[in-house]
Amino acid sequence: MENSDLHTALLSFDDVIEAAYDIFLEMAQDSLEPADVLLFTAQFDDRGAAEVVETGADWPEHVGFPVEDDTYAEVRIGLVNEANDELDDIFARMLISRDPENKFCHILWKRD
């Protein structure tokens, strides 16, 4: 168990990334510009990444409630710049609940 204070175990960051990527794939076609879908599809095998990052301070204004860092995770999905190995072309920022009993996901898409 990751956090003994909670009555249920929180999802691991690996599980959160996997869930985020599945949701991203399901919704990307309808939520991104066609050119971005083509770019992501063509480049993902070589440069694609999904990573948990520090939860942005702007989430409460997007979701309308305070975001607890231990219960929620921010996942960014995009392409890595090969020159500096940083995720710099972000297609989606996702806030996902790590509590398996409280499923929640909010996505900020590129160009939103």
Residues sharing a CB contact under 8 Å with residue 36, sequence separation 6 or more, in sequence order:
91, 110, 111
**In CATH, what number does 13-109 get?**
3.10.450.140
Q: Which whole number is the average pLDDT over 18-43?
A: 95
CA separation for the pair 74, 67 (Å, rounded): 10
Report pLDDT digits (tens) over 35-81: 999 999 999 999 999 999 999 999 999 999 999 988 999 999 999 99
The reported pTM is 0.88
pLDDT at residue 7, rounded to an integer:
53
Radius of gyration of the chain (CA): 15
